Amino acid sequence: MSASINPTKFHGNARKHPRIEEGNTQPKQCNKRLKLNKKIHDAVFSSPSMEKCPPEVLCNVFDHLSDESLSSLVHVSRYISGAVIDYAKWKHKLDHILFRHFGINTAEEAVDFCIKNGSPYIDLREFGDAITDDLVVKLIERLPHIHSLLIKSSTISNVSLSHIAKLTQLTKLNLEWCKKITNKGLEHLTKLTQLTKLNLKGCNKIRDNGFKHLTKLTQLTNLNLSCCFDITDNGLEYIAKLTQLKELNLCNCHKITDNGLEHLTKLKQLTNLNLSWCDKITDNGLEYIAKLTQLKELNLSYCYKITDNGLEYIAKLTQLKELNLYECCKITDNGLEYIAKLTQLTYIKWSRVLIYYRYI
């Protein structure tokens, strides 16, 4: 009998407490991944008491373990093994866990394993550039019902995308740093009508006209275009037609200006927007951002031209929970007075001071 993981997050009645840290600009990582000594984890997880642990408790334990430690638990017992596999399926990293457990070291072995395993959630990112067009074609020909495909390879080209287009049940596609992909490749993706999440980070051969193909992906809720260096305001005019978008990452798209942000006002469902390193943005652009009333997370780090006046617009985002103003060096204490009106805010990063609320 295996444990069945129910992906429900359990929270106590936490209270918010303000905290300010100077010097270190990163919050302390309470969720650091642990790599357990083999003797320790065998002793702990082989204990009869572990067999009595509810799945949600095991789930919380697994959250703190490294992938290597997780993979080594597959052989401990049927109960623990089942719990690990259910957890890995829920986290969509079953292949990654099993690769480590079975000692799979090459891209060819990984693709063969995925075909044999038949999982609809495929993560091949750890094999990087070793994933080629030929391997992608082989995978898709044998597994036509993939739901999630994660690749990070600068060697694949539009050829792969022409075959990925056959995966009509695909909902999540990661193509980060697939640098050979061009506008023509995006045209193939128009057939993926069920797609909800698309990562094109670092696909820097894509130009503005290529984004018109994405407008047919009407179910898209999450789009990552960070480090697509040549996207301009014209490209955002196409992106603005994806009205179901909830998360948009434009980090390091440094050609974007205030005019481009006006297009984004059509994205009424947007809750998470990353504009870090979009250093042409000024206070005028923030007037448009203020119209995105559902925003909960906003990253404006390294937007050097923003001043205190711009924060008066940000103060209208009453749902905002996280705000990153790191290295916005023209912002002063006076500007933060506007931010103080945001009663939902739990995290602020400003200059070299981190202000955040933590749950205890």
Each residue's pLDDT tens digit, 172-210: 999 999 999 999 999 999 999 999 999 999 999 999 999
Mean pLDDT of 36-40: 54
Instruction: Quote the CA–CA distance of 196 and 189 in Å, as a whole number.
Output: 12
- Res 26: pLDDT: 41
Highest mean pLDDT range out of 1-15, 21-35, 81-95, 99-113? 99-113
Q: What is the per-residue pLDDT for 231? A: 97
User: Rounded distance, CA 216 to CA 264, Å?
Assistant: 17
Query: Does the pLDDT at position 39 exceed 90?
Result: no
Nearest Cα residue to 264 out of 282, 248, 283? 248
Nearest CA among 280, 342, 289, 296 for reference residue 313: 289
Query: Domains in the chain and their CATH numbers?
Result: 1-8+32-91 (no CATH), 97-359 (3.80.10.10)
Q: What is the pLDDT of residues 50-94, one digit of tens each?
A: 777 887 888 888 888 877 777 777 777 778 878 887 887 777 666
Query: Amino acid letter at 309?
Result: N
What's phi and psi for 94, nearest 5 deg? -60, -45
Helix or strand (DSSP H, E) at 20: strand 16-22
CA atoms of 93 and 101, how far apart (whole Å):
13
* pLDDT for position 45: 63
Whether 23 shows a pLDDT value over 50: the answer reads no
DSSP for 98-122? HHHHTT--SHHHHHHHHHHH--SEE
| Residue of 304, 307, 298, 305 whose CA lies nearest to 342 | 298
Distance (Å, rounded) from C-alpha 243 to C-alpha 264? Answer: 10
**What is the reported pLDDT for 21?**
34
Region 234-256 average pLDDT: 98
**Do strands 347-350 and 353-359 pair parallel, antiparallel, or not at all (unpaired)?**
antiparallel
DSSP 311-342: HHHHTT-TT--EEEETT-TT--HHHHHHHTT-
- Provide the CB-side half-sphere exposure for 44 (13 A, CA): 14
Greater confidence, 64 or 149?
149
Rounded Cα–Cα distance for residues 354 and 324 (Å) = 9
**124: CB partners within 8 A, 6+ apart:** 95, 107, 110, 111, 114, 131, 150, 151, 152, 153
Percent of the chain topping pLDDT 90: 65
Q: What is the pLDDT, as a whole number, of residue 285?
A: 98
Out of 8-22, 154-168, 307-321, least confident range: 8-22
E strand or H helix at 309, and its extent?
helix 308-314
- Tens of pLDDT, residue by residue over 289-348, are 999 999 999 999 999 999 999 999 999 999 999 999 999 999 998 998 999 999 999 999
Q: How far apart are the first and last CA of the chain?
A: 36
Residues 6+ apart with CB under 8 A from 140: 146, 163, 164, 166, 167
Interhelix angle 133-142/107-117, rounded to 10 degrees, is 10
Q: Is the pTM of this model over 0.85?
A: no
Question: What single letter denotes the amino acid at residue 25?
Answer: T
What pLDDT, in 10s, does the model give residues 119-137? 898 999 999 999 999 999 9
Confidence of residue 46 (pLDDT cuts 50, 70, 90): low
